[in-house]
Structure 1
């Protein structure tokens, strides 16, 4: 039987790479997106739209999901990454990050309570900032820490039914707006010292879904940045 996966934020960047990987592996892919999807049409691809910063939109998504299952794997990948200095309304800034990183995964997982396949897995994409926060992104860091803690609680609650693990990316893929000086500064704070690429996360997910003894774990995919040093939080960009 063909396996089925749900990926939030599955239409762009890391989510797009994950979606394409599982499509190439023969999976049925349900890819959530917010404003746009960059995925090409595929017979095994279903797209679902929702603004995960809006609880009503999350509820509408949750109503659709059971009919698209059952799921062998769910990856909570959707993310919101805004520096505190850019917030025009602090309450809205907090709500946006919490809804995307905590409220949406909680509600989606609850909606799928009866929609898991046998030996299913769930993976949450956290961040090394969940353990070593950056004061410039305090709200983002708090939300990712919440996602991580909740995920480990789900490993307990869903034990025997769904294996739940967390991946903490580090400097995986720079954005176009990151200049060369910024990139060199970040990579100087890792042990590998290279931009790892989205493939590093794909490989981590592939391992976790094939490792029947692994649940309740937090896997760092950061090139060793977590243990390299306590990074400088003050440089720009």
Structure 2
């Protein structure tokens, strides 16, 4: 029987690429999505909708997971990225980021406590902002730091049952709204200086899911940006 993996935020962008990759590798994929789901139907694909900014939606998603069978892997990829200046309600702004990045992974991980395969693996997608925060995105940075700390705590708690690791992406894949000037500025602060694409994260996930001696680690997949000159926090886009 093929192995089962849960990927959150799998309806588009990186999550979609990850889901398609593991389907092609023969995995049973449980793909969570919020509103947009661009995945094509597949016999090995199960799609579950939930708004992870809503506590009740998280609870309902968590309740469904154990009935699907045992899990060999989880990738906590779901994310929200809203600048503080766009928030009309500071409490709601921070709660949204904390629910998506910390509460949802915690409740999902707890829900899977009795259905892990032997030698299972969990990967949490954090951000280089967890260690070098950007004042324009303080709620996001705080939540991603919380996710990272949660992951390392789970590496301790689940030791011997589940390996837990963190990936810190940097400027891997630009969005359509990023103009050429913005792209050049970001890449100028990377040691590699190239847009690496989602494949760089996919390969990092592949490694961590298979690396039986690696747990409690933080892997930076950022083109060397973390050790380059610190980024300019005055970007306009």
- The TM-score normalised by the length of structure 2 is 0.99
Which runs of no fewer than 5 residues in structure 2 stay unpaired?
none
**1:225: which partner in 2?**
225
**2:86: which partner in 1?**
86
User: What pairs up with 1:48-63 in 2 under 5 angstroms?
Assistant: 48-63=48-63
Which consecutive aligned stretches of 4+ in structure 1 deviate over 2 angstroms post-superposition? none
In the TM superposition, residue 69 of structure 1 has moved relative to its aligned partner by 2.5
User: What pairs up with 1:72-221 in 2 under 5 angstroms?
Assistant: 72-221=72-221
In the TM superposition, residue 144 of structure 1 has moved relative to its aligned partner by 0.0
**2:27: which partner in 1?**
27
**1:16: which partner in 2?**
16
Structure 2 SS opposite 1:147 = helix
Q: Deviations over 1:24-50 (max 9, x none)?
A: 000000000000210001000000000
In the TM superposition, residue 231 of structure 1 has moved relative to its aligned partner by 1.1
Cα distance in 2 for residues equivalent to 1:218 and 1:73: 17
The question of 1:47 aligning with 2:47 is answered yes
In the TM superposition, residue 87 of structure 1 has moved relative to its aligned partner by 0.3
User: RMSD of the TM alignment (CA)?
Assistant: 0.5
In the TM superposition, residue 235 of structure 1 has moved relative to its aligned partner by 2.0
Which runs of no fewer than 5 residues in structure 1 stay unpaired?
none
